[in-house]
Structure 1
Amino acid sequence: MTTIDKTKLSRALASKASARLEMWLSICSRCGLCAEGCHYYASNPRTEHVPAYRIQPLLDLYRKRGKVDAELLTEFRDIWYGTCTMCQRCTMYCPHGIGIAPLVHAARGVAVAMGLTPPGLAKGLENALEFGNNLGMTEDEYLETVEWQLEELREEMPSAEAPMDKAGAEYLLTFHPRDIKFYPQNLYNYLKLYNASGIDFTLSSKGWDSTNLGLFAGDVPKATALARNVVEAAEALRVKALITAE
């Protein structure tokens, strides 16, 4: 069982506190209308899938001034990470306009500070920081997959191109790593679409993963570092716009 560092927990809570956060936590009336916009609740209508339920643990942490045990904090962690994708649809149904996704993100930041990032997510984040993508693909593996799918596409579309690191292109294409490692046929279709459209595009050998597990984890410094990878790739190639994976 994880030992809770009370001082560190208090600092984490203080770092996330803001007038807006406190207002949102205080005005939630638990009306449940937010559930109408939640795909978790729609697929499995359980109390713990109501978005308002997810922010209650954060409110409890502030009310108790962080005086909770490791078991309870781990339970909170599972709620924050296990029942929300931070899509923000719930806010569209909230009569008060409460930003539940930012509250969940703040709560996850507390979990990160306490070393409670879910193991699978932590490993993906580690890969992203080391390899530039969350599946840990090497640059050679990425380039070989692009070349392979371009060869396949040229059997159907002989003039197809997959420009790599083309400076001055209008668009930079980025991807979700799973489309490269597990579903390369998706890459085939992307290249087919962009070649057929006639747009001026390029791929990059660096910063091609536009997913951001740091953002999803609630780890702001790591989220910033991952976002910077993509921004720097775009700026180095002097593109006008970026097309992201999702």
Structure 2
Amino acid sequence: MTVDTKALAAVLAEKAGARLEMWLAICSRCGMCAEGCHYYASNPKPEHVPAYRIKPLLDLYRKRGRVDGEMLEVLRDVCYGTCTMCQRCTMYCPHGIGIASLVHAARGVAVSMGMIPPGLAKGMQNALEFGNNLAVTEDDFLETVEWQLEELQEEMPAAVAPLNKVGARYLLTFHPRDIKFYPQNLYNYLKLYNAAGVDFTISPQSWDSTNLGLFAGDVAAASRLANNVVEVAEKLKVKAVITAE
């Protein structure tokens, strides 16, 4: 691939900050961060040491974006393929380096270069277009809720699944896979909240608890997806949002 070095340098300058540059500078490569990494625990090789993950980003900064496509591919594979940004590594780092933040910055560089992994890019596009990362339509969502509520009412005749109830205490959101592939999980959620007497509501317009924009490193997409839930929560005047995970 042809790299627009000027555009890349501009993105790096945008991502740069005193804290980020300090973290890149003070890492001593001591390896203590490896103790907290589940990738390293399952496969203890150098590439899975969290300190290794920041090397491609450090190289980009040192070269001010004057790199080739091969190096960007290494950055993409490292920042998306060997980290979930769980932040456990920071708990073991003697300097308190936020490696997850550095990985997120690296993903932002990949986003700007159009190098998001295809599966992740598709899920994020689904979320932006349909409101959820599996492209479940509003009609399918409503049908699934109605179906599971009917099943539940055979066991709990008074069970409800209020839709867009203004003033409810909680707005429920779900992982899209529960709606599309494991609707019995929705049955269990409804059973739990009804049995506990929780005042809740569900919105067909904004129910996805995931945010693939955040995971991808696309700040604009992440903000838009988060705002989808915020707008509905404020419109319905709920006290809190309950997320799936």
- Residue 135 of structure 2 is matched in structure 1 by 136
Q: Are positions 1:57 and 2:43 aligned together?
A: no
> Which secondary structure does the structure 1 equivalent of 2:7 belong to?
helix
Superposition map of 1:193-212 within 5 A: 193-212=192-211
> Which secondary structure does the structure 2 equivalent of 1:104 belong to?
helix
Deviations 1:65-105 (A, max 9, x none): 11211012111101000111111111111111111111100
- Residue 25 of structure 2 is matched in structure 1 by 26
Q: 1:87, 1:71 → 2: CA distance?
A: 27
> Which secondary structure does the structure 2 equivalent of 1:188 belong to?
helix
Q: 1:75, 1:58 → 2: CA distance?
A: 10
Q: 2:45, 2:185 → 1: CA distance?
A: 34
Q: 2:159, 2:49 → 1: CA distance?
A: 47
Give the superposition deviation at 1:209. Answer: 0.6
Q: 1:196, 1:37 → 2: CA distance?
A: 39
Superposition map of 1:19-98 within 5 A: 19-98=18-97
Q: 1:122, 1:238 → 2: CA distance?
A: 33
Give the superposition deviation at 1:216. Answer: 0.4
Look up the equivalent residue of 2:178 and give its one-letter code.
D
Unaligned segments of structure 1, at least 5 residues: none
Give the superposition deviation at 1:139. Answer: 0.3
Contact 2:56/2:71, CA 8 A, preserved across alignment: no
How many equivalent residue pairs?
Answer: 245
> Which secondary structure does the structure 1 equivalent of 2:54 belong to?
helix
- Residue 169 of structure 2 is matched in structure 1 by 170
- Residue 183 of structure 2 is matched in structure 1 by 184
Give the superposition deviation at 1:154. Answer: 1.5
Give the superposition deviation at 1:130. Answer: 0.5
Unaligned segments of structure 2, at least 5 residues: none
Give the superposition deviation at 1:17. Answer: 0.2
Look up the equivalent residue of 2:19 and give its one-letter code.
R
Deviations 1:35-73 (A, max 9, x none): 111111111112111111111110011011112110121
- Residue 221 of structure 1 is matched in structure 2 by 220
- Residue 145 of structure 2 is matched in structure 1 by 146
- Residue 236 of structure 2 is matched in structure 1 by 237
TM score, norm. by length of structure 2? 0.98
Deviations 1:163-220 (A, max 9, x none): 1111100000001101100111111111111111111111111111121010000000
Structure 1 range deviating more: 106-115 or 182-191? 182-191
Q: 2:45, 2:193 → 1: CA distance?
A: 42
Q: State percent identity of aligned pairs.
A: 78
Structure 1 range deviating more: 35-44 or 161-170? 35-44
Give the superposition deviation at 1:3. Answer: 1.5
Q: 1:153, 1:50 → 2: CA distance?
A: 47
Superposition map of 1:112-127 within 5 A: 112-127=111-126
Q: 2:176, 2:67 → 1: CA distance?
A: 38
Question: Moved runs in structure 1, 4+ residues, more than 4 A?
Answer: none
- Residue 9 of structure 2 is matched in structure 1 by 10
Structure 1 range deviating more: 198-207 or 16-25? 198-207
> Which secondary structure does the structure 2 equivalent of 1:172 belong to?
strand
Structure 1 range deviating more: 164-173 or 181-190? 181-190
Q: 1:9, 1:86 → 2: CA distance?
A: 23
